[in-house]
Amino acid sequence: MKTMASSFNKMHILLFLVFATLTTMAQGQTRVGFYRTTCPTVETVVQGAVQSAFQTNPVVAPGLLRMFFHDCFVLGCDASVLLSGPSTERTAPPNLSLVGFEVIDAAKTQIEAACPGVVSCADILALAARDAVVLTNGTTWQVPTGRRDGLISQASATVNLPGFNDPISLQISKFVDKNLTIQDLVALVGGHTIGTAACAVFSYRLYNFSGTNQPDPDINSTFLPQLRALCPNGGNASVRVALDTGSVNSFDTSYFVNVRTGRGVLESDAKLMSNVTTRAFVQKFSGAPGVPQLNFNVEFAKSMVKLGNTELKIGSQGEIRRVCSAIN
């Protein structure tokens, strides 16, 4: 009986180990230093390309961060947002204002010259997003790499992207679908600390919210005239406004202070205060009095790593593109 029990236990342990291995393989794994031997200069090259572009046009920093977010939320972090052509993700309304494609292309060109066919465009974008945050005085973190580039890019798939007027319940649902928590949601939306939005995206809040011919009551009464001055009723809809008033070029926690005090520009940002859980994280990140604080930089970095592991393509899946805007 002891022998049978021992054999059973050994087989049980073996099956458990096999299952655990298969589960890990199925989930996919990236790792820090994936290109350490095959292309050791990759991070230096990407950093140089981002820094060069940033010195000419600082707008590329929030642009690259937003591009990474938009890529990962649609078909996973597979550089599908970089593909050009009819009905690709780039042609969808949420992506028409994306900037920074030329930065990724510049980095890819240099990397292909040094390490042809080795580094994915998806990994270049992940590294560039990190470097963009660093250049705006934000935190740094180690970026796990090893992604492969996707072969599909469809404009219709961008319905998965969180929208500027999504209610908080839908925002939470979209993040949970990507295995991201409510804390991840609030931390990642904190990337708006270096972003801007066109008047066309939020001016309805200033003049005719929900068909009332009145402003959104969630807007701070002293902030409303400032926004109206920037976006006059019937004015230039393409004018861009800082999502973090007073600190648009610095990656910091003032965005959360603004949201907490009714100075959120987007409706989706303002709605962070309408849910008890998201509101609690806004308060923790903003340093609200009497609330245990969370270090935004630390938590943002953790959430970016989680986001970057969304629906990975690894191993023989996808490909390593020679040019980021086209499949091989």
User: Is residue 56 part of an annotated ligand binding site?
Assistant: no
Q: What share of the chain is helix, strand, coil (3-state, %, to 5)?
A: 55, 5, 45
Q: What angle do CA 109, 113, 114 make, to 5 degrees?
A: 120
User: Is residue 203 part of an annotated ligand binding site?
Assistant: no
User: Is residue 298 part of an annotated ligand binding site?
Assistant: no
Q: Which candidate, 282, 289, 233, places its Cα nearest to that of 255? A: 282
Q: Give the tokens for residue 13.
A: 């342990």
Phi-psi region of 282 (alpha: psi -120 to 50; beta: other; left: phi over 0): alpha
User: Is residue 89 part of an annotated ligand binding site?
Assistant: yes
Q: Give the tokens for residue 133.
A: 């945050």
Q: What angle do CA 100, 104, 108 make, to 5 degrees?
A: 165
Return the SS3 of 58: coil
Q: Which candidate, 99, 195, 104, 199, places its Cα nearest to that of 149? A: 104
Q: 196: part of which helix (H) or strand (E)?
A: strand 196-198
DSSP 200-269: HHHTHHHH-GGGSSS--TTS-TTTHHHHHHHS-TTS-TT-EEESSTT-TTS-SSHHHHHHHTT--SSHHH
User: Is residue 78 part of an annotated ligand binding site?
Assistant: yes
User: Is residue 269 part of an annotated ligand binding site?
Assistant: no
70 included as an active-site residue: yes
C-alpha–C-alpha distance, residues 150 and 148, integer Å = 7
Which residue is catalytic, options 70, 148, 174, 284?
Answer: 70
User: Is residue 80 part of an annotated ligand binding site?
Assistant: yes
Query: How many beta carbons lie within 10 A of that of residue 209, not counting itself?
Result: 16
For residue 210, give the amino acid letter: S
Binding residues for substrate: 162
Q: Which residues are catalytically annotated?
A: 70
Binding residues: 71, 74, 76, 78, 80, 89, 162, 192-193, 244, 252
